[in-house]
Structure formats: C-alpha cells, structure tokens
C-alpha cells in the first residue's frame, strides 16, 4: 500500500506577515511545500492531503489545483476553530485553529493508510521523505511510529526566534520524549530558549529536534481524537491554547502504547518563519536547481517514482 503525505497548510503565518503557504520561493516560482510533494512522489507516496482553511481555499486552489494531479492523487480537508470533533458539541469563540494535532485530526476520513505529516512552510530534503516512505511501507504498525530528527543547529532562523520539539533519544534510536521549546535563538551565549518562567536556558546545537515530519498508521486518529477531547475540556477557556502533535506522541509514549523510531537527518532546514528568511531560502533552492537536484520549473519533468 502506498503511503499518503499530509501537508499542514492551514496556518495563519503571523510572524511571516502573509500567506506563506503559497509564496513563490523556488527558481520557477514554486512554493516550499511543492518540494515536499515532489520528493514524496519520488519516494513512492500515492496521495497528498492538504489541510487548509476555507478563508484561503480560493487562493490556495487557484495556485495549486491541477499542478500535481497527473503525478499523485490530491485531496483537501479543512481546519477551522469549530471543525467537528466527536465528543465536542459547543465551541468557544476563537481567532485561530487549535494547532497541529487538531489539523492532523481533520484528515481522519481522508486517510486509511500509513501517512507522513509535514508542515507546508518547511523544506525537509529528499532523503528525509525517502527514509520516511521506506518506514511507512515496511515498518509502520499501530504501535510503531517514526519521526525524522534534525540537529537543532541546522534548523534555526537567522532573523528571529523559533519553536522546536526538542527530543530525548536513547542509544537505539528510539524517541523517549519530545518537548516543545519556544523562543529558540542564537545569541552571544550560544543557542538559548525561553522557559515557561521567562528565563533564558541553553540548548546544545547537536540536540535532536522534530520539524513535524512524523510517520503514523491510520489507527493514530482514534488516539488523537481521544487526546484532543481531553485537551479541549481542560483548555477551552484559553483563547490561544494549541494542541500539538508532539503532545500526542508524548502522551502515547507515557501510556506505553507506542514506540517511535527516530530517522536521523543532517539536512539544513530551510523555511520562511520570517519574511527575512525568504531570500536565504530562495538562494538555497536556486543552488539545488543548479546542482541538478530539482528541475526548473519543478513540474516540467515527471518525478521518477521509487
């Protein structure tokens, strides 16, 4: 069975200052997420599901509809702050959706096979999608998950602080925990983050972090729904509370329900967290095209499948 790529593209992009999901970054005007789709096709994925908001549907589909349909099956699902979830009947007023875990849950009825999750605004690298595709085809089970782990020093923005899931990994490459750290940045003291009390704390540049490239079986949706309902009941009164995928994985690890294999990557992260990141990422994609890693325009050649 061919795995599916789930692309989280419903974010608002407040730090970037625009709809970064559709921003032209590649030398042929490609958006970052097009490279994830291209790499997934090469890695043997059979379908891509985009999570978007109704407010961006027209712009999103006018940009991408028909672009990859000849190469891979395409579906759309929607994430709103009041998107239906079993067990929840009344939603509080809210300006933004409920986070990446809630976004993933919106694809429950579109995915029945093993799948990978990616952010629309992050570049992961062809080898990362290839190794994840191999895992999903051959090793993924209801209790065996996977995550691609990056080195923190390769994932920082030069233009502002970022959030990352900092991982604890055992000697056998199994994930023990992943903790969301916020306001991670380089300063005179090294790589620092701000803890929940507002204090600056150091982090190692060689720390393994999650960039939200996860591999799951379709059975994970039952657990995500259970955990989201519990989260909602505890946090419905908080207008900015978010339900993150790492929180799901941490809870399932704590309950002893899953194991998570960490697939290592030494790739350099590229993305557009901030508007100033765009020029750096544009240069990186231009260089990859010059080296022959990607055609220009990207969809001018049918990607060879694995």
Q: What's the whole-model pTM score? A: 0.94
d(CA 175, CA 148): 10
State mean pLDDT over 51-73. 92
205-228 pLDDT, tens digit per residue, is: 999 999 999 999 999 999 999 999
The domain ranges of the chain are 4-300
3-state class (DSSP) for residue 279: helix
pLDDT tens string 138-155: 999 999 999 999 999 999
Least confident of 66-80, 96-110, 135-149, 262-276: 262-276
| Residue 142 neighbours by CB distance under 10 Å | 14
pLDDT tens readout for residues 65-79: 889 988 999 999 999
Position 273 pLDDT exceeds 90? no
- Confidence label for 34 from pLDDT (cuts 50, 70 and 90): very high
Backbone torsions φ then ψ of 156, nearest 5 degrees? -95, 150
Residue 16 has pLDDT above 50, yes or no: no
Mean pLDDT of 261-280: 88
pLDDT averaged over every residue in the chain: 92
Mean of pLDDT values over 287-296: 95
- CA 117, CA 182: separation in Å to the nearest integer? 21
> 4-300 belongs to which homologous superfamily?
Spore Coat Polysaccharide Biosynthesis Protein SpsA; Chain A (3.90.550.10)
- Neighbour count for residue 290 (Cβ, 10 Å): 11
What pLDDT sits at residue 15?
47
């Amino acid at each position: 069975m061919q795995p599916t790529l789930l692309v989280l593209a419903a974010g608002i992009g407040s730090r970037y200052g625009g709809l970064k999901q559709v921003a032209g970054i590649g030398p042929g005007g490609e958006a970052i997420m097009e490279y994830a789709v291209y790499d997934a096709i090469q890695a043997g994925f059979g379908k891509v599901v985009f999570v978007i908001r109704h407010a961006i549907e027209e712009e999103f589909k006018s940009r991408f509809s028909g672009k990859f349909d000849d190469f891979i099956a395409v579906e759309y699902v929607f994430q709103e702050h009041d998107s239906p979830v079993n067990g929840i009947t009344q939603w509080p007023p809210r300006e933004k959706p409920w986070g990446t875990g809630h976004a993933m849950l919106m694809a429950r009825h579109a995915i029945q096979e093993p799948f990978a999750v990616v952010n629309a605004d992050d570049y992961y690298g062809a080898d990362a999608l290839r190794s994840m595709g191999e895992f999903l085809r051959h090793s993924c089970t209801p209790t065996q998950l996977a995550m691609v782990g990056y080195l923190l020093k390769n994932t920082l923005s030069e233009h502002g602080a970022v959030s990352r899931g900092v991982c604890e990994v055992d000697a056998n490459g199994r994930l023990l925990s992943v903790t969301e750290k916020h306001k991670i940045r380089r300063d005179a003291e090294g790589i620092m983050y701000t803890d929940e009390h507002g204090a600056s704390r150091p982090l190692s540049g060689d720390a393994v972090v999650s960039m939200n490239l996860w591999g799951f079986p379709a059975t994970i949706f039952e657990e995500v729904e259970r955990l989201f309902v519990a989260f909602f009941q505890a946090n419905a009164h908080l207008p900015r509370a978010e339900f993150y995928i790492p929180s799901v994985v941490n809870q399932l690890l704590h309950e002893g329900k899953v194991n998570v294999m960490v697939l290592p990557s030494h790739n350099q992260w590229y993305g557009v967290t901030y508007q100033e990141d765009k020029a750096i990422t544009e240069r990186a994609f231009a260089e990859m095209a010059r080296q022959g890693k990607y055609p220009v325009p990207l969809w001018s050649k049918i990607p060879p499948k694995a």
